[in-house]
Amino acid sequence: MDRPTLLCIHGFPLDHTLWAPQVTGLADVARVLAPDLRGFGDDRRPVPDVMTMEAYAADLKDLLDEQGVDRVVLCGLSMGGYVAMAFLAEWPERVAGLVLCNTRANADTPEGRAARQATAQNAFEKGVDVIARAMAPTLLSDRSKRTHPELMAHMEAMIARQRPEAVAAAALGMSERPDRHAVLNGCTVPALVITGSEDALMPLPTSQAMVDALPHGRLVVLPDAGHLTNLEATDAFNDTLRVFLRSLP
Ligand code: MLT
């Protein structure tokens, strides 16, 4: 494959700007697409009450069709990983490689589902800025907070500018997602699972379980990084992706 298309899928409740260091840093090895999921960032399409991971994946498939892109390397972070796995389940023939960052293949627990309902309600009743203040500190490792204090403000601002209806629809959609380990088990293309040693939201065993399910998967744990490995450990993240992209058949 010469210069593959890398489709970067952002997490919750973020937008395409999450991927700025990859859009510029990986342009030499890939055509990098980093769209906003429906309702997030600059996207102004109507948002239904619930956006399932399958619905986001269908939007992305439409985008690839519009752009005339046949096969892509999917790269999803956290909720973006859930969307990547939904895409893989539906259109495996369109996937040339898979990168799952700071994510998991498990479905939500009943407690997790209840928390999603509360998040959806809070988005409307308390406001997304309240969610932003609570969530931003959980995304970064202690070391990132110390060495890159500007990242906290950056993430808080990114979350606070999202529309409540997009945040609520995504939260409810995530609560409906199924377990995807069987989908990973059927994945025939090379796969990378990347996580941060200090990711407080996705503990290491969830990444290990995905690697164990993937027939051609490899685990990369970036030291001192939290939930946002692409931002907190940009150089190591981009180097890992560059090697992976160049290794694809
Ligand atoms: C994300 O970063 O996308 C979320 O933490 C995913 C989730 O809430 O399960």
pLDDT in tens, 22-50: 999 999 999 999 999 999 999 999 999 99
Q: To test the ligand 1 pocket, which listed residue (201, 202, 232) has its Cβ within 8 A of the most ligand atoms?
A: 201
Does the structure show a pLDDT above 90 at 140? yes
When the pLDDT of each residue in the chain is averaged and rounded to a whole number, the result is 97
Name the token pair of 184.
């990973």
Half-sphere CA count of 42, side-chain side, radius 13 A: 5
Question: In 3D, which of 66, 92, 97, 119 has the Cα closest to residue 194?
Answer: 97
For strands 31-33 and 72-77, give the pairing. Answer: unpaired
Average pLDDT over residues 207-235: 98
- Using a pLDDT cut of 70, give the percent of the chain over it: 100
Question: In 3D, which of 97, 96, 135 has the Cα closest to residue 218?
Answer: 97
Does the structure show a pLDDT above 90 at 2? no
Does the structure show a pLDDT above 80 at 149? yes
- Residue nearest atom 4 of ligand 1, based on CA coordinates: 12
**Residue that the structure tokens 């990547």 belong to:** 84
Q: Which atom of ligand 1 is nearest to the CA of 108?
A: 9
Cβ-contact 104, 199 below 8 angstroms: no
Name the token pair of 35.
């769209």
Strand order in the sheet with 191-196: 31-33, 5-9, 72-77, 95-101, 191-196, 217-222
Average pLDDT over residues 207-222: 98
Average pLDDT over residues 104-112: 98
Does the structure show a pLDDT above 90 at 249? no
**Residue that the structure tokens 């407080």 belong to:** 200
For residue 67, the model assigns a pLDDT of 97
- Using a pLDDT cut of 90, give the percent of the chain over it: 98
Q: Which atom of ligand 1 is nearest to the CA of 81?
A: 3
For residue 221, the model assigns a pLDDT of 98
48-97: pLDDT as tens digits: 999 999 999 999 999 999 999 999 999 999 999 999 999 999 999 999 99
Question: Residue 169 is which amino acid?
Answer: A
